[in-house]
Amino acid sequence: MARLFLGNLDPDTSDDEIREFLAKYGFPPFDEIERAPGEGSRPAAVLTYRNIDPNALGQLQKRIHSMHWKNRPLTAQILRDGFA
């Protein structure tokens, strides 16, 4: 299992838009999504992948970290066990 944190999302971004964006950059479909609205200025999502190695997800993460999407620079980080 591996988890990907996506930060600084546009607050109006749907789960389907996230899925389509990630597929465009080679990501497999995620199994779960948990939204983290924060204080409203930098919404985030944590995506869970049950059938991918964290190292493989880390290689994909490099493709989108700091990329501008919907006029915002994304933060993409792999979450290790024990972190949310």
- Residue 46 identity: V
Between residues 82 and 66, the one the model is more confident about: 66
Domain range for 8 is 1-32+52-73
Instruction: Answer yes or no: is 57 within a domain.
Output: yes
pLDDT value of residue 7: 95
Between residues 39 and 24, the one the model is more confident about: 24
Instruction: Answer yes or no: is 66 within a domain.
Output: yes
Instruction: Answer yes or no: is 43 within a domain.
Output: no
pLDDT value of residue 42: 84
Instruction: Answer yes or no: is 47 within a domain.
Output: no
pLDDT value of residue 83: 46
pTM, full prediction: 0.89
Q: Rounded CA gap, 63 and 39, in Å?
A: 27
What confidence tens digit (pLDDT) does each residue in 33-54 have?
999 876 767 899 999 999 999 9
Quote the number of domains for the chain: 1
